[in-house]
């Protein structure tokens, strides 16, 4: 910044001098050098406070006269001017007493080429060039211009109690002067550097934190996506398997009946039973998958109207009467009398209950008890389906309601399922303004509860 400021000042000085010489050239166009015109030029050119004009023979054309010591100095200076300088129309800076003078050959006068010795005015230079150039460059630090003996020529602000930071030299146009940077009190460069370091480190740490968070989020996203892809492919495999089994059974028993290879009427009835049961299972599975796909596509609609829960619960259990009995389940159904009406889509609630009963059967081992109760608790009706089966670890309670999710293969091994049953139950119940909860412990059994709100009496 200091170098840039010094360069700017130097450029401005050279430009100022260029303009001053052009002005002087205009002022000496008369056949005789007219002192008034040069005086007028001097008034417009504050960067010089003295001007001397000589012709090539060494005759002083302006001012009319000079003091003895002045004349000696000027004569010595003129002595240094080589003829080549005259011919080239040269321009250079020289030291004159304590000041810097610009020696320049001015052309265009009828008297031939003239030599101008222009002595700089420190004040004029400060006001006209330095101040104008350095204004606006001030940041936190103070910029100052010093002369050869460290005297302050210009400072934007008082320098007392400021700390010197660095100094840079100007070029040839300002030979002994220098530009210095000062830090105001309390803004020591060390403090500034420390502050910047702290800021930089904080920003860096923040940036690293954001990057780490981003990486973590992407990792989680990728893991979730690949988990979802795995679950989907499991789902397809499970559904295909679930479809194949009942179809194979129906076909096998159907063919046996067709070929009339049934020993007696009781066996025949049993075979019809198997076919009916397996087709029911097939229907349930297909309904589940279709409903699930409608939910995923946002196309599922429920027809919700006020109605009684009691027949719905009984019908749902009744559909399982045969498999329950056949697999040796004891079922205890208890529906509180005078349950209030609730808003419900009968078929959807039946499907939710069927999924819960189906699970209770699937995930029961030796203790084959299933309880179904419906009762009013406060502002809601609760339907509970409980079993004494394998149970579910607490950490899985939330996840089992996610689509495609099935608990680790070992527990569900040999148990058919698609992993969308509970997701469907949750969707149906929530569409009714209710919720579904689970209470379960491994080895003890599970209790799923559907909470349905009782509407305010109109
Ligand atoms: P699935 O078709 O696998 O039964 P669900 O969505 O119905 O899918 O259930 C998700 C998972 O929750 C099941 O795979 C099973 O591990 C567990 N689960 C559901 N109901 C029960 C239950 N009554 N007892 C033990 N585990 C259950």
pLDDT in tens, 40-49: 999 999 999 8
Residue minimizing CA distance to atom 13 of ligand 1: 406
**Stretch among 76-90, 101-115, 135-149, 200-214 having the lowest mean pLDDT:** 135-149
CA dist 21 and 91 (Å) reads: 10
Q: Is the CB of 438 under 6 A from ligand 1?
A: no
Reply yes or no on whether the pLDDT at 187 is more than 80.
Answer: no
* pLDDT value of residue 212: 97
* pLDDT value of residue 186: 67
- Residue 188: pLDDT band by 50, 70, 90 thresholds? low
Region 183-208: mean pLDDT is: 85
**Model confidence, pTM:** 0.57
Q: How many other C-beta atoms can be found within 10 angstroms of the C-beta atom of residue 155?
A: 16
- 31-35, 73-77, 326-330: which has the highest mean pLDDT? 326-330
* pLDDT value of residue 111: 83
The strand pair at 48-55 and 114-120 is best described as antiparallel
* pLDDT value of residue 413: 60
* pLDDT value of residue 89: 84
CA dist 385 and 142 (Å) reads: 82
Contact 374, 339 (CB under 8 A): yes
Q: Is the CB of 100 under 6 A from ligand 1?
A: no
The mean pLDDT of the chain is 89
Residue minimizing CA distance to atom 16 of ligand 1: 407
Burial of 346 (0-12, 13-18, 19+ CB in 10 A): middle
Reply yes or no on whether the pLDDT at 262 is more than 80.
Answer: yes
Region 47-53: mean pLDDT is: 92
* SS3 state at 289: helix
31-40 LR contacts (CB < 8 Å, sep 24+)? 31/110, 31/111, 32/111, 33/61, 33/62, 33/109, 33/111, 33/114, 35/62, 35/63, 35/64, 38/62
Region 244-265: mean pLDDT is: 92
In this predicted model, which residue has the larger pLDDT, 366 or 1?
366
Reply yes or no on whether the pLDDT at 88 is more than 60.
Answer: yes
CA dist 298 and 349 (Å) reads: 19
* CA of residue 300 to ligand 1 center, whole Å: 23
Contact 181, 1 (CB under 8 A): yes
Q: Is the CB of 403 under 6 A from ligand 1?
A: no
* pLDDT value of residue 149: 86
Reply yes or no on whether the pLDDT at 95 is more than 90.
Answer: no
Region 96-118: mean pLDDT is: 87
Region 90-102: mean pLDDT is: 85
Reply yes or no on whether the pLDDT at 335 is more than 70.
Answer: yes
Q: Is the CB of 103 under 6 A from ligand 1?
A: no
Residue minimizing CA distance to atom 7 of ligand 1: 421
Q: Among 363, 370, 403, 427, say which to mutate for ligand 1: greatest number of ligand atoms within 8 Å of CB.
A: 363
Element (H, E) at 382: strand 380-387
Q: Is the CB of 418 under 6 A from ligand 1?
A: yes
CA 98 to chain CA centroid, nearest Å: 62
Region 368-377: mean pLDDT is: 96
CA 456 to chain CA centroid, nearest Å: 47
* pLDDT value of residue 82: 85
Burial of 278 (0-12, 13-18, 19+ CB in 10 A): buried
Q: Among 351, 410, 422, say which to mutate for ligand 1: greatest number of ligand atoms within 8 Å of CB.
A: 422
**Residues contacting residue 409 through CB under 8 Å, at least 6 positions apart:** none
* CA of residue 297 to ligand 1 center, whole Å: 23
For the CA of 401, the nearest atom of ligand 1: 6
Contact 302, 428 (CB under 8 A): yes
pLDDT tens for 275-332 read 998 898 899 889 999 998 999 888 889 999 999 999 999 999 998 988 899 899 999 9
CA dist 86 and 193 (Å) reads: 53
Q: Is the CB of 364 under 6 A from ligand 1?
A: no
For the CA of 417, the nearest atom of ligand 1: 2
Reply yes or no on whether the pLDDT at 410 is more than 60.
Answer: no
pLDDT tens for 337-363 read 999 999 999 999 999 999 999 999 999
**DSSP code of residue 340:** P
Residue minimizing CA distance to atom 21 of ligand 1: 359
- 71-75, 393-397, 416-420: which has the highest mean pLDDT? 393-397
Q: Is the CB of 353 under 6 A from ligand 1?
A: no
Closest CA to 20 of 121, 159, 132: 121
* CA of residue 410 to ligand 1 center, whole Å: 13
In this predicted model, which residue has the larger pLDDT, 248 or 142?
248
């Amino acid at each position: 910044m200091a170098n840039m400021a010094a360069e700017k000042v130097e450029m401005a000085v050279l430009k100022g001098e260029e303009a001053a010489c052009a002005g002087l050239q205009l002022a000496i166009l008369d056949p005789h050098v007219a002192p008034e015109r040069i005086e007028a030029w001097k008034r417009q050119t504050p960067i010089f406070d003295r001007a001397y004009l000589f012709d090539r023979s060494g005759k002083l054309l302006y001012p009319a006269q000079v003091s003895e010591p002045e004349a000696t100095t000027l004569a010595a200076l003129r002595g240094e001017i080589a003829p080549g300088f005259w011919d080239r129309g040269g321009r250079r800076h020289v030291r004159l007493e304590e000041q810097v003078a610009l020696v320049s050959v001015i052309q265009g006068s009828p008297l031939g080429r003239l030599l101008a010795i222009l002595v700089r005015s420190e004040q004029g230079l400060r006001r006209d060039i330095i101040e104008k150039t350095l204004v606006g460059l001030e940041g936190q630090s103070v910029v100052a211009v010093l002369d050869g003996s460290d005297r302050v020529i210009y400072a934007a602000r008082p320098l007392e109690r400021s700390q010197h930071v660095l100094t840079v030299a100007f070029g040839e146009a300002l030979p002994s002067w220098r530009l210095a940077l000062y830090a105001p009190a309390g803004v020591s460069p060390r403090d500034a550097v420390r502050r910047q370091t702290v800021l930089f480190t904080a920003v860096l740490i923040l940036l690293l934190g954001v990057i780490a968070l981003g990486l973590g989020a992407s990792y989680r996203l990728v893991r979730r996506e690949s988990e979802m892809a795995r679950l989907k492919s499991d789902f397809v495999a499970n559904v295909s398997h679930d479809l194949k089994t009942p179809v194979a059974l129906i076909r096998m028993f159907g063919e046996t009946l067709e070929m009339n290879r049934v020993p007696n009427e009781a066996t025949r009835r049993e075979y019809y039973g198997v076919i009916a049961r397996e087709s029911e299972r097939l229907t349930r599975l297909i309904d589940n998958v279709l409903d699930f796909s409608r939910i995923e596509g946002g196309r599922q609609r429920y027809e919700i109207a006020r109605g009684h829960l009691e027949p719905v619960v009984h019908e749902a259990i009744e559909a399982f009467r045969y498999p329950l009995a056949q697999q040796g389940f004891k079922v205890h159904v208890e529906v509180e009398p005078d349950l209030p009406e609730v808003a419900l889509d009968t078929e959807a609630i039946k499907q939710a209950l069927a999924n819960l009963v189906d699970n209770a059967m699937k995930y029961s081992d030796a203790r084959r008890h299933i309880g179904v109760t419906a009762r009013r608790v406060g502002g809601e009706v609760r339907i509970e389906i409980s079993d004494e089966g394998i149970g579910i670890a607490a950490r899985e309670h939330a996840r089992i309601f996610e689509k495609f999710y099935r608990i680790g293969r070992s527990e569900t091994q040999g148990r058919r399922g698609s992993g969308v049953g509970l997701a469907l139950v949750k969707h149906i119940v929530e569409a009714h303004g209710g919720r579904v909860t689970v209470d379960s412990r491994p080895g003890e059994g599970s209790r799923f509860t559907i909470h349905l709100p009782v509407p305010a009496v109109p």
